[in-house]
Amino acid sequence: MKKIAVFTSGGDSPGMNACIRAVVRTAISKNVAVSGILQGYNGMIKGAENFIELNSRSVGNIIQRGGTILKSSRSKEFMTKEGREIAYQNLKKEGIEGIICIGGNGTFTGAEIFYNEYGIPSIGAPGTIDNDLYGTDLTIGFDTAINTAVQAIDKIRDTAESHGRIFFIEVMGRDTGFIALAATIAGGAEMVMLPEVKNDHVQLINFFKSRSETKKSFSIVVVAEGNFEGGASAISTILNKEIPGFESRVVILGHIQRGGSPTTYDRVLASKLGYGAVNALLAGEKNKMCGLINNQITLTPFIDAITKKKPLNPDLLNLVGILNN
């Protein structure tokens, strides 16, 4: 290959820039030119103005920056046959022979369909704070996101203790509770409500009744946004109705979890996976996600990464019940 493209797509995650940097510098070290596509699949469809040549200097001073210098999007147009045809013509014009896509589920689904239709090979690097991809122990951005969530919980804990209050803190995680579970353990929260566990409000009510018996003065409950009974506001409303005199506060951490300077862990992970993805593409691999399993760079077919479910660690779930006493 003489020229490849790199882009970021879907929800941004801290460490994407470190990954772009590793992709560009690895490719250049092998005499392969790199084009950066701005705004993900939308930019691929818009064409020339969204394709920029990248060299070692253009990715200088970005390893410490959150967000993505290549911008991102969730493209509706790429989901249409017409959109993908235009994208293909644009890649052909630019002489792109292979793609490195940094993103999550939707990103890899798009890349898989695109290969089946037009034969352009892709290798993915898992960039999402949700950590919800099969085929990698951790995704780029997850470590930073949980550190951000835990710093916020620590602050809320101060005021919760001062007033003896109950706080429901909502963290991101549409379909999975990886952020919620890690933030619960590290933030010393007493309960967690997850999309994966039918943790209904009856259990929570019982928990708060026993809590007053043990005379705990304040409580923190972490709720994943995708919890099946609703987010933190919905849960607090249910408890307000069910327990007379129950009073609580709700904090939704939201998009602050997606921003900020990446942690050391995320920078190293992103650098390894960017390097691994380029090497795989140049070695003729395609339609695979480059992840890290047991500290080894591993390739997993896109189809498995997007369809297989990565389970929560049951030991961590048990631990919440032991540590909250």
Helix (H, G, I), strand (E, B) or coil at 190: coil
Stretch that binds ligand F6P, among 75-83, 125-133, 159-167, 261-269 (CB under 6 A): 125-133
Q: And the tokens for 263?
A: 């942690």
What is the rounded distance in angstroms from the CA atom of residue 292 to the CA atom of residue 276? 10
What is the rounded distance in angstroms from the CA atom of residue 7 to the CA atom of residue 110? 13
Cβ at position 172, least distance to ligand F6P in Å: 3
Residue that is written with structure tokens 């943790």 in the block: 199
Build a one-symbol-per-residue string for 230-269: x at contacts with ligand F6P by CB under 6 A, - elsewhere: ----------------------------x-----------
Residue that is written with structure tokens 């032991």 in the block: 322
Build a one-symbol-per-residue string for 10-39: x at contacts with ligand F6P by CB under 6 A, - elsewhere: -x----------------------------
Stretch that binds ligand F6P, among 123-131, 146-154, 197-205, 243-251 (CB under 6 A): 123-131
- Chain centroid to Cα 169, Å, comes to 19
Cβ at position 212, least distance to ligand F6P in Å: 33
Neighbouring C-beta atoms of residue 158, cutoff 10 Å: 9
Stretch that binds ligand F6P, among 38-46, 126-134, 195-203, 228-236 (CB under 6 A): 126-134
Cβ at position 148, least distance to ligand F6P in Å: 12
| The only residue of 19, 120, 169, 172 in contact with ligand F6P, by rule CB under 6 A | 172
When asked if residue 177 is in the footprint of ligand F6P (CB under 6 A), the reply is no
**For residue 227, which amino acid is it?**
N
DSSP bridge partners of 252 = 170
CB 101 within 8 A of CB 289: no
Q: Beta 296-301 vs 288-293: how paired, if at all?
A: antiparallel
- The rounded radius of gyration (Å) of the Cα atoms in the chain is 22
* Strands (E) located in the chain: 3-8, 33-37, 51-54, 98-103, 122-126, 166-171, 191-193, 219-224, 248-252, 288-293, 296-301
Cβ at position 90, least distance to ligand F6P in Å: 24
When asked if residue 73 is in the footprint of ligand F6P (CB under 6 A), the reply is no
How many residues in the shown chain lie near ligand F6P by CB under 6 A? 11
Closest by CA position to 271, among listed 58, 105, 63, 35: 63
| The only residue of 50, 109, 128, 131 in contact with ligand F6P, by rule CB under 6 A | 128
Q: What is the dihedral of CA 94, 95, 101, 105, to 10 degrees?
A: 90
When asked if residue 306 is in the footprint of ligand F6P (CB under 6 A), the reply is no
Q: Considering the complex, state which of residue 131 and residue 199 has its C-beta at the smaller distance from ligand F6P.
A: 131
When asked if residue 130 is in the footprint of ligand F6P (CB under 6 A), the reply is yes
Cβ at position 117, least distance to ligand F6P in Å: 25
Q: Considering the complex, state which of residue 257 and residue 287 has its C-beta at the smaller distance from ligand F6P.
A: 257
DSSP code of residue 120: -
130 is catalytic: yes
CB 136 within 8 A of CB 300: yes
When asked if residue 194 is in the footprint of ligand F6P (CB under 6 A), the reply is no
Cβ at position 97, least distance to ligand F6P in Å: 29
Stretch that binds ligand F6P, among 22-30, 91-99, 156-164, 166-174 (CB under 6 A): 166-174
Residues carrying an active site annotation: 130
| Contact footprint for ligand F6P (CB under 6 A) | 11, 74, 104, 128-130, 172-174, 225, 258
